[in-house]
Structure formats: structure tokens, C-alpha cells
A and B are shown apart, each in its own frame.
Chain A
Amino acid sequence: MTFVQAMILAVLQGVSELFPVSSLGHTVLVPALLRWRVDESSESFLAFVVVLHLGTALALIAFYRAEWVAIVRALVTSVARGRFGDDPEERTGWLLVVGTVPVGILGVLFESSVKALFASPVPVSAFLFANGFVMLLGERLRRRQHAGTARATPYRTLPQLTWKDAVLVGFAQSLALLPGISRSGSAIVAGLLRDLHHDDAARYSFLLATPVIFAAALLEMPKLFAPDAHVALVQSLAGGVLAAITAYASVAFLTRWFRHNDLSPFAWYCVAAGAASFILFAGKVIS
């Protein structure tokens, strides 16, 4: 992998991890489309990806630093007290804990086998298409749910979610184990269907993603020190910093975007990119 390729992958990771377009899917499709000779199963590539994930996770923590401080403080107080209080930060914290359990268990149990089965261009293209389709469907269902009739369901705020809702959003996030399905996309759709506004659904999705991405990066840290890793220090550091900067810019943009807009542009992008890639790879135009 050349330095330029590494930097392109870093930007791609930083942006696509948070935009609802599947980072894993893009990490498979873009090198294949550009015919890069990158061995994605090599120790050095995996080590580089760990650094990119660390950069993304640190950017998310930095962006939501005030919220994380309040949430952790509220959780510690809650455990010390031994019962739930009325603090919205505490409630949000427990909703994050409950929502993280499904993806933690399923991720550890099935990530490697799912990746081995599906991390090639044709299935990834199909999943990317499905990702777009699910987001369009989610938006349609949400509009129907909240149509301006007397029977329309009222919106809820994040702390008003139930434990069951948190588990459902957590399971939805687990769908991102399939390369091509977006973590943030599936979690936002699940949040919308549990009556959250776009901005609250996106905030819950980003907060929920932070411990998952950070823990995944920490758990993969040993790959940095594997005998065959040969991590190019400058390349990895530059990649990590670039991924962090682009991830920070992405989350800043998306939190503003979801105040007044919906998932549709990202959904149509996934449908178009998934369909085009599927035709190119399944039709052996690119092999």
C-alpha cells in the first residue's frame, strides 16, 4: 500500500464510519474499483485499520466530550446510589449500556466469520444496496407513523426511550457486522421507528457507536505488535490523524444535517452505488 492509498483510505474511513454509508463496505469496494493491489488480510493492513479506528473513536469522544463526562459521572453516581434517578444524562447512559450489549456479544461471536463469508465486492454491493433500501423504507414508515392525523404517534426524546427500545436499536446496530450495512444508518432507522427525531436518533447512534468502535480498536491493538505487522510509523500516524480529523468534521456536519434533514440522500447514494458496483463486479466488468 502506497502512502497516497493509505491517506485515501484514512479519509474514507473517517467519513464513511459516521455517514450512514458503511465504512467496511467502502473499504472493500473502493480498493477493488480502483484495482489497488492491497492485501486486506495482511497483518500490516489490519494494523493500519486499527489505527484508523482509534482515530475515529477519539474524534467521537472529543466531539461529545462534555456529554461523555456528564454521562459517566451520572452512571457512577447511579451505581453508588444503587437505584435509578431522574437525571436525563443517567438515563441516556443506561440506555447506551443496554444498547451496547447486543452488538458487543454478537460482534465478538460472529464478526470474524461474517467478514470471512461476505467481505468481497459482490456481497458487499448487494448489502450496500439493501442498506439504502432499508433507509428509504425506514423514512417512509416514519412519515406514515407521524403523519399529521389525530392518531399520529408523538415524538419522544432520547431519555424517553424504553429499555426494550435500546435493545432493539442495539440489535439494529449489530446488522453492521454485514459489510455494506451501515452501523449509523441501521441505528438511526431503528431510532426513527422508535419515535425519535432525526437529530436524537443520530445522536444516540453516534454515542452508541463510540464505545463499540473504541473497544473494537482496543481489542485489535495486539495486531499492531504482531510479528508481521510492519506498521509504517509515519503512514499510520498520518492515517490515524487524518481519520480523526475527517471523522470529527463528519460528525459535526451530520449533527447539523439531521436537525432539519433526513436520510434520503445517503439512502439514494447507497442504492445507486450498490447497484452500480453489483453490475460491475457480478457482471465481471471489473474482476
Chain B
Amino acid sequence: MKQLSIVLAVVFIVVAVLYWTGHAYPPGVHAKHGIVSVILALLCLVWYRFQTAAPAR
């Protein structure tokens, strides 16, 4: 699951960059899609963090 969370985070960041640079659609047309992709990437990183932190004593 750790790998999955990191892979998904990277995928969402790539998707956001593609949207913003206009490779997926003309720039600005789907800026909101890019923003949501970044938020999803951040959530995946939080998910990763929850799997890698030291267990409670």
C-alpha cells in the first residue's frame, strides 16, 4: 500500500502538470482539474505518511 500511495501521488502531480502546461487541454480551460489533482496528490502523501510513521508505544 505504501508503494501504491506514492505511485498515485506522482500520477496526480503529473496529471496536474499536464493540465497546467496545456498538454492535456488548452491552458486555463481545465485549471480546476489541475488543482483537484494536486489536492488528491497531497492526500496520497498524507496516506503514505500514515503508513510509514513509527507505531504508537
Contact = CB atoms under 8 A, between A and B. Distances in A.
Interface of A: 79, 81-84, 97, 101, 104-105, 108-109, 219
B50 A84 contact: yes
Nearest to B55: A83
A104 B35 CA distance: 10
Interface string B24-57: 0000000011011001100100100110111110
B56 A219 contact: no
Contacts, number: 26
Given A108-B32, A108-B33, A219-B32, A83 B39 contact: no
Contact of B54 (A79, A82, A84, A108): A82
Range of interface residues on B (Cβ < 8 Å): 10 to 19
Given A101-B43, A104-B39, A83 B32 contact: no
Contacts of A81: 53
Interface of B is mostly: helix
A60 B46 CA distance: 26
Interface of B: 32-33, 35-36, 39-40, 43, 46, 49-50, 52-56
A219 B50 contact: no
A82 B43 contact: no
Given A108-B33, A219-B35, A79 B43 contact: no
List the 6 shortest-distance A-B pairs measured between CB atoms, nearest first: A82-B53, A108-B36, A108-B32, A219-B32, A82-B49, A83-B53
Nearest to A98: B43
A101 B40 CA distance: 8
Contacts of A97: 43
A83 B36 contact: no
Contacts of B43: 97, 101
A79 B46 contact: yes
